[in-house]
Structure 1
Amino acid sequence: MVKPKQNIDPEEAVVRHTPHDIKCKARRVLLSQKLRAQRKKAKESGRKERQKERQKLGEDGPAAQQPRTIESMRVADDTIVDEEDPEYQDEIELDEFSKYFEGKEPKTCITTNEKPGGKAVGFAKLFPRILPNAEYFPRQHFELSEIVKFCKNRDYTDLIVVNEDKGEVNTLMICHLPDGPTALFKVTSITMPDKIPGGGEMTNHKAELIVNNFTTRLGHTIGRMFASLFPQEPNFRGRRVCTLHNQRDFIFFRQHRYMFESKSKANLQELGPRFTLKLMSLQHGTFDTKSGEYIHLHKAGMDVDRKKFVL
């Protein structure tokens, strides 16, 4: 004798079964939707209750829940620096950038790879407009070791090399002179100033620099390297500000101008360019691919854990 099929109410099925217990795909989908709807309703109800309780009790009410983000779930890192630590203060007084922070004026040389295309040259020529006391030189057929020697003999404090591959800018090298270190960055998401909607024109004023969210020892080294490219005494009348913001080991560059509508209200006008950097390597000394000692070398396996950062 064949037993008649029983009609099970979906609400009751959600309680009695999990979707994995149901063989019928249509019913599994229905139960999954019911479960998600119930969880969403319970979550929203709990949020409203906590909000009412906070409004009723004030400071004695339950604290607002913080959203879970990749940054908030960051893997603990022993190299995170406390800037107030006396030991760290002693270290930075002796590092490669200490002379700059004692008042040495930056002087930067900018060049490209050999036989560059128009995009690499155009991108490289932006840096003399961004950085004070910076000059662009065509690469021609000089080796990098010769260029480093040239810069040292003429008291340049930094060398920036823009590299391209297949007509697209792909890396940026910054070599701090005379004794390094040398950093290599991958460059992505370049937007030139003329492509930015509502963008303004850059002036010759010395820009203010904001270096944000560099927390580890390696991150502080990179932050100080960027800071050594800019003047310690910016010209605030120009209202130019350059920002290097680190988020999940991606460094975002933006440049703006303050637009004061009144004494209490100001807007930002983006000047450009926009681009994103990712640190690929940092080595002691000036450029040396054969015997250089690496402080950091990015490897593919480092991207497996999305909650682990080096900067």
Structure 2
Amino acid sequence: MDLMITSSAEMKKIKSLDDDKLWAGFDWEETDKILSGEIKPRTLITSYPFPAIRYPQRGPLIAQELVSVVPNSCYVRRGIRSKLHEVIAKAKKRHFTSLILTHTNPRGHDELIIISLLNGASAVFRVIDFIPRAEIPNCANPLSRRIYPELHMKSFDSQASVGTARMIQALFPKVPSSGGRPIAWFQKQNNHIFFRSHRFCYEEPLSGESSSVRRQPQECGPRFALKLRAVERVSFDTGKFKLLCVELLDDYE
């Protein structure tokens, strides 16, 4: 990834990923139109062109699994000569509103980057305990491409986490609350964001039972957790990332 480190003066303005000003430097006007339902989001999902040698299929696997999670999304395999600014230019030309990049580093750590194509905001997440749909017992069929899930965001209470939640919310079309819709859950707990999704199946009462049809939730998958690692600003012209704030860990890559 092309990275432009900010100056020390700029870094001092945002001291941590919990800073109330973490997302203050971005224009959210167009993003808020997605949240209000005025704009329907579209998401392009791809992986890094040079996967880790030991984990060549991991990034593409996560990318393809995310297509079943994010409505109005598509996965495009990235060529080895594909530059990020070229991907961004093509995505914007085709009216995508977000870009998701997946990657597994040489240590085997999965990474997911959400880039807003509306304001250049970029959230870098560590992906933890990713379980694909095939490994979830009694997993339901993927969420329908025609029936958008109802999005539930829980415990995003601080000013910083509200901005992080906005990056995720901008991937999902605004839909009215309905008891029959599939559900996509993102819950923040102990600096981690846990994702689950489920749809409802209906079971007829057993012979002799007087009760009505029973509604049972069934998990759709995949299952994973996210941990915010960094916030960056992306240049649409060059595809370079300007680091605004990073989690201070020795293994950040």
What is the TM-score with the length of structure 2 in the denominator? Answer: 0.74
SS at the partner of 1:130?
coil
Structure 2: gaps (5+ residues): 1-17, 204-210
- What amino acid is aligned across from residue 127 of structure 1 in structure 2? L
Where does residue 142 of structure 1 map in the other structure?
Answer: 82
C-alpha distance after superposition, 1:82-134 (max 9, x if no partner): xxxxxxxxx99954522223410101101001144222222211222222211
C-alpha distance after superposition, 1:272-305 (max 9, x if no partner): 10111100111244578867251x321139xxxx
Alpha carbons 2:63, 2:75 under 8 Å: kept:
yes
Q: Does residue 245 of structure 1 match 2:245?
A: no
Where does residue 93 of structure 2 map in the other structure?
Answer: 153
Alpha carbons 1:131, 1:206 under 8 Å: kept:
no
Deviation at 1:227, TM superposition (A): 0.8
Where does residue 198 of structure 1 map in the other structure?
Answer: 138
Alpha carbons 2:198, 2:221 under 8 Å: kept:
yes
Alpha carbons 2:233, 2:241 under 8 Å: kept:
no
Where does residue 116 of structure 2 map in the other structure?
Answer: 176
Where does residue 100 of structure 1 map in the other structure?
Answer: 34
The two structures, once aligned, show a CA RMSD in angstroms of 3.1
Structure 2 CA distance, aligned partners of 1:164 and 1:92?
A: 28
CA separation of 1:101 and 1:291: change in aligned 2, threshold 3 A? closer
Deviation at 1:250, TM superposition (A): 0.5
Superposition map of 1:1-311 within 5 A? 79=20, 95=29, 97-102=31-36, 103-116=38-51, 117-140=56-79, 141-166=81-106, 168=108, 170-204=110-144, 205-233=147-175, 236=178, 239-261=181-203, 266-286=215-235, 292=242, 294=244, 296-300=245-249
Q: From the CA coordinates, give the structure whose radius of gyration is larger.
A: 1
C-alpha distance after superposition, 1:143-175 (max 9, x if no partner): 112211221222110000011124946100000
Alpha carbons 1:209, 1:241 under 8 Å: kept:
yes
CA separation of 1:154 and 1:182: change in aligned 2, threshold 3 A? same
Alpha carbons 1:97, 1:228 under 8 Å: kept:
yes
Structure 1: gaps (5+ residues): 1-76, 81-90, 302-311
More strand by share: 2
What is the TM-score with the length of structure 1 in the denominator? Answer: 0.61
- What amino acid is aligned across from residue 101 of structure 1 in structure 2? L
> How many residue pairs get matched?
214
- What amino acid is aligned across from residue 297 of structure 1 in structure 2? V
